[in-house]
A and B are shown apart, each in its own frame.
Chain A
Amino acid sequence: MSNKPQTLFDKVWDAHIVKQVADGPDVLFIDRHFIHEVTSPVAFLGLKNRNVDVMFPEKTFATADHNTPTINQHLPVADVLSANQLKALEENSAKYGISHWGLGNPKNGIVHVVGPENGITLPGMTIVCGDSHTSTHGAFGCIAFGIGTSEVEMVLASQCIMQPKPKKMRINVHGSMGKGVTPKDVVLYIISKLTAAGATGYFVEFAGPVFEEMSMEGRMTVCNMSIEMGARGGMIAPDETTFNYINGREKAPKGEAWVNSLAYWKTLKTDEGSVFDIEYNYEGADIEPMITYGTNPGMGMGISQRIPTAEGMESGKVSYEKSLSYMGFDEDQPMLGKKIDYVFIGSCTNGRIEDFRAFASIVKGRKKADNVTAWVVPGSHVVEQQIKDEGILDILIEAGFELRQPGCSACLAMNDDKIPVGKYAVSTSNRNFEGRQGPGARTLLASPLVAAAAAVTGIITDPRTLIG
Chain B
Amino acid sequence: MAYDKFTVLSSTAVPLPIENVDTDQIIPARFLKATKREGFDENLFRDWRYNPDNTPKQDFVLNNPIYTGKILVGGRNFGSGSSREHAAWAIYDYGFRCVVSSFFADIFKNNSMNIGILPVTVSEGFLHQIFTAIENDPNTLIEVSLEAQTITLVSTGEKESFDINGYKKHNLMNGFDDIDFLHNIKTEITAFAENSKY
A interface residues, Cβ below 8 angstroms from B: 15, 18-19, 21-25, 27, 29, 31-32, 38-39, 41-42, 45-46, 50, 52, 55-56, 59, 67, 79, 81-82, 84-85, 88, 122, 124-125, 130-132, 134, 146-151, 153-154, 157-160, 162-164, 166, 196-197, 200-201, 230, 232, 261, 264, 295-296, 315-316, 318-319, 322, 412-414, 421, 431, 433-436, 439-440
Contact status B179-A50, CB under 8 Å: yes
The closest CB in chain B to the CB of A153 belongs to: B179
Contact status B111-A150, CB under 8 Å: yes
What A residues does B183 contact at CB under 8 A? 52, 157-158
What A residues does B80 contact at CB under 8 A? 196-197, 230, 296
What A residues does B88 contact at CB under 8 A? 148
> In the docked arrangement, what's the CA distance between A124 and B197, Å?
9
What B residues does A23 contact at CB under 8 A? 165-167
Interface size counted on chain B using CB atoms at 8 A = 57
B35 contact from A42, A319, A434, Cβ within 8 A: A42
Q: When each residue 1-44 of chain B gets 1 if its CB lies under 8 Å from chain A and 0 otherwise, what string results?
A: 10000000000000001111010110011101111110000000
The closest CB in chain B to the CB of A146 belongs to: B83
B107 contact from A18, A29, A147, Cβ within 8 A: A147
12 contacts between A and B (CB under 8 A): A21-B167, A22-B167, A23-B166, A24-B166, A29-B189, A42-B35, A45-B37, A148-B110, A158-B189, A162-B178, A200-B106, A434-B25
Given contacts A31-B196, A148-B88, contact A435 B24 (CB under 8 A): yes
What B residues does A21 contact at CB under 8 A? 167, 181
Q: Would you give the shortest CB distance from A316 to chain B, in whole angstroms? A: 4
> In the docked arrangement, what's the CA distance between A412 and B86, Å?
15
Contact status A38-B166, CB under 8 Å: no
Contact status A154-B178, CB under 8 Å: yes
B179 contact from A131, A154, A164, A433, Cβ within 8 A: A154
Q: Which of A41, A79, A124, A160 has the most CB of B within 10 A?
A: A160
Contact status A319-B193, CB under 8 Å: no
Contact status B1-A150, CB under 8 Å: yes
Q: Would you give the shortest CB distance from B186 to chain A, in whole angstroms? A: 7
> In the docked arrangement, what's the CA distance between A21 and B52, Å?
48
CB-contacts of B163-198 with A (<8 A): 165-168, 177-179, 181-183, 185-186, 188-189, 192-193, 196-198
Contact status B18-A319, CB under 8 Å: yes
In the complex, B103 has a CB within 8 A of chain A = yes
In the complex, B84 has a CB within 8 A of chain A = yes
What B residues does A439 contact at CB under 8 A? 28, 47, 52
What B residues does A232 contact at CB under 8 A? 106
Contact status B19-A39, CB under 8 Å: no
What A residues does B17 contact at CB under 8 A? 318
The closest CB in chain A to the CB of B114 belongs to: A150
> In the docked arrangement, what's the CA distance between A29 and B32, Å?
28
Q: Which of B33, B37, B84 has the most CB of A within 10 A?
A: B33
Contact status B189-A148, CB under 8 Å: no
In the complex, B105 has a CB within 8 A of chain A = yes
Ranked nearest first, the 3 interchain pairs of A and B with the lowest CB-CB distance are A24-B167, A23-B166, A148-B85
Contact status A296-B189, CB under 8 Å: no
What A residues does B197 contact at CB under 8 A? 15, 31, 124, 261, 264
Extra contacts besides A150-B111, A200-B106 (16): CB < 8 Å: A21-B181, A29-B189, A38-B33, A42-B36, A52-B183, A125-B198, A131-B82, A148-B84, A158-B179, A158-B189, A160-B189, A230-B77, A296-B20, A318-B18, A433-B24, A433-B81
> In the docked arrangement, what's the CA distance between A310 and B106, Å?
27
In the complex, B115 has a CB within 8 A of chain A = yes
Given contacts A23-B166, A197-B20, A413-B30, contact A132 B82 (CB under 8 A): yes
Contact status A296-B75, CB under 8 Å: no
In the complex, B70 has a CB within 8 A of chain A = no
> In the docked arrangement, what's the CA distance between A315 and B193, Å?
48
> In the docked arrangement, what's the CA distance between A147 and B113, Å?
13
> In the docked arrangement, what's the CA distance between A454 and B166, Å?
52
> In the docked arrangement, what's the CA distance between A117 and B124, Å?
45
What A residues does B97 contact at CB under 8 A? none
In the complex, B49 has a CB within 8 A of chain A = no
> In the docked arrangement, what's the CA distance between A154 and B81, Å?
21
Contact status B196-A316, CB under 8 Å: no
